[in-house]
Amino acid sequence: MARPQPAAPSPQQQATPRHPASLPAQRTAGPPGRAGEQDDAQAIVPEGIAAPAMISAEIFAAAVDAHVSGQRLDMQSLARRLGVSRATLYRRAGNREQLLDLVLWWRARHTLVEQVHATAAQSGAKRIVKAIGGVLHAIEQDRSLRAFLESDPEAALRILTGTRSTVRKGMVATLENLIDLERGRGAFAADLDTPTLAYAIVRIAEGFLYADVIADRSPDIDQAITVIEALLRGLDLMRRA
């Protein structure tokens, strides 16, 4: 499959800092906002938006730059850019997929925190659906991620949907936190346990979001949101009946 030429950053790319090292240390939950929004962000995305501490800021920023620009993250090229041997880079940052996993999760955390703030005025199933929809549309519009999926679909799916990936675990855990937050406030109720519900929603979202790679059909975010909304509202109504 031909790899697309690098294009101008999408609004989502522009909103995500290119240099993790430039982030103030105290900003762990997102941009300034109302106290309730900050509390929600900390509860739902406890890692915040800080760059991973286990990798040097210089290595991580270079990896983010390579990904965001639409380039293939090549460890040999990255080592040359950083002025270290490839062996040293592997020792400090892990292999290519491990490093990409951290880059994609860092970017995802920005999107998740943005959606926590964007849906702060809503509650219950409506908030959960709106937050999921916002995340899915942001992922769909992320040109660097699309370039990765088209140029290296097998590696991309391992990182984005693999059961051992940081991205997949993080997405499921974040959704569990959001569901539990709305449950705890009495705004959402379901007989289905939170881990099972979050897992089911993530699987539905992946099936529609990456349909072109998984099933050779066009992605359909709106259809995914419709299915997820029907599931959440149906469970909520059944529990309250």
pLDDT per residue as tens, the chain (241 positions): 443 434 444 434 444 444 443 333 333 444 444 556 678 999 999 999 999 999 999 999 999 999 999 888 999 999 999 999 999 999 999 999 999 999 999 999 999 999 999 999 999 999 999 999 999 999 999 999 999 999 999 999 999 999 889 999 999 999 999 999 999 999 999 999 999 999 999 999 999 999 988 888 888 999 999 999 999 999 988 776 6
Half-sphere exposure of 103 (CA within 13 A, CB side): 28
Question: Can you read off the two tokens belonging to residue 58?
Answer: 């210089």
Name residue, tokens 């850019």.
Answer: 81
Q: Which two tokens stand for residue 83?
A: 């002025």
| Segment (H or E) for 82 | helix 75-82
pTM: 0.83
Domains of the chain from N-terminus onward: 35-50+96-240 (1.10.357)
